[in-house]
Amino acid sequence: MTIRPRTASHGEFPIGDEPTRGHTPPVNFLVTGGAGFIGSHVCERLLLEGHEVCAFDDLNDFYPPAIKQRNIRDIQSLAKPFTFIQGDLANPEDVEEAFSSFQFDQIIHLAARAGVRPSLEEPALYQRVNVEGTVNLLESARNRKVKKVTIASSSSVYGVNSKVPFGEEDPIFKAISPYAASKLACEALGHTYHHVYGMDIAMLRFFTVYGPRQRPDLAIHKFARRIHEGQSIPMFGDGSTARDYTYVTDTLQGILACTTREFGFDVFNLGESQTVKLNYLIELIGKAMGKEPRIDLQPMQPGDVPITYADITKAREVLNYHPQVKIEEGIPRFIEWFKTVA
């Protein structure tokens, strides 16, 4: 495990809404997956709100590690109390060493092997990292009396849900991918650690998050790159599949709201509550890039669901969660960032 010290250079908050400052007392946070897409935004926002942050990430090669290293440099450039730890969540010794090195008040657990399709090829890896890794984290938290943990789940737990929009009380025992199954297991673990050990745990079901720093394997980023390079876009199905795309600053709002409240145990959808069909998404990306996309029609893929659609009534009422960025605004924002790194 590698611990990198804090730095003292300067920088700016990335593309997105400016943070609000000073509304909560300073807290020492552990953010797992803190070098990744959502995690790096979480780290920056916490630092700008006056908290101390330790990011834990293994920098694996699921996508080029240089991308995460760039995210770390962006965070370090804020010249705030930030520490980066390179370690493997599935290795209990790495997790224990992190907890031995710092005293954490709260944990935001975002680290996971992500992606439905890759999980079909390596189901055991997804079990080891996502499920065993979460157990290792919760055990270290319990042993160090860290009671408050916010954990990333996924809209994939709903599977092929005939009821739309998806509500937190819907049945979720029909997972159709190893990734979804691993997230279901994490939700069960969260409830168990609350029930048995009294920990305060919020599970957040993310709905297709996008924005600056989005992983290159995800649809919006992948489509933009292929258009940029003059390649065709593979469209699985007839373009009618729909997703509840959520801009990263909106997801961020929901995550941070959980850090200021106590739940015992609870589950929240964090989506935009607006479905976007695949063919319309591709049209928006092409328009923002000023190019006409070329489509390569492909059959539907195993593990894909026809629609995701979040009922965010509960998050609105409990978290004061109010997503602001519609897809027509979010895609141009993303393309603006994409052009700086393409």
Domains in the chain with CATH codes: 2-206+248-271+310-323 (3.40.50.720)
Q: Radius of gyration (Cα) for the chain, nearest Å?
A: 19
Q: In terms of Cα–Cα distance, which of 55, 74, 97, 92 is closest to 14?
A: 74
Beta strand pairing call for 295-298 and 233-236: parallel
Q: What is the DSSP string of 235-298?
A: EESSS--EE--EEHHHHHHHHHHHTTS--SEEEEEES-S--EEHHHHHHHHHHHHTSPPPEEEE
- The predicted pLDDT at position 186 comes to 98
pLDDT tens digit sequence for 199-236:
999 999 999 999 999 999 999 999 999 999 999 999 98
Query: Out of 158, 179, 245, 321, which one is annotated catalytic?
Result: 179
In degrees, rounded to 5, the angle at the alpha carbon of residue 164 between the alpha carbons of residues 243 and 182 is 65
pLDDT (tens digit per residue) in 259-284? 999 999 999 999 999 999 999 999 99
Residues of the chain with pLDDT under 50: 6-23
pLDDT at 21: 43
- Is 179 one of the catalytic residues? yes
pLDDT for the residue 303: 72
- For the whole model, what pTM was predicted? 0.92
pLDDT at 305: 80
* Confidence (pLDDT) at 63: 93
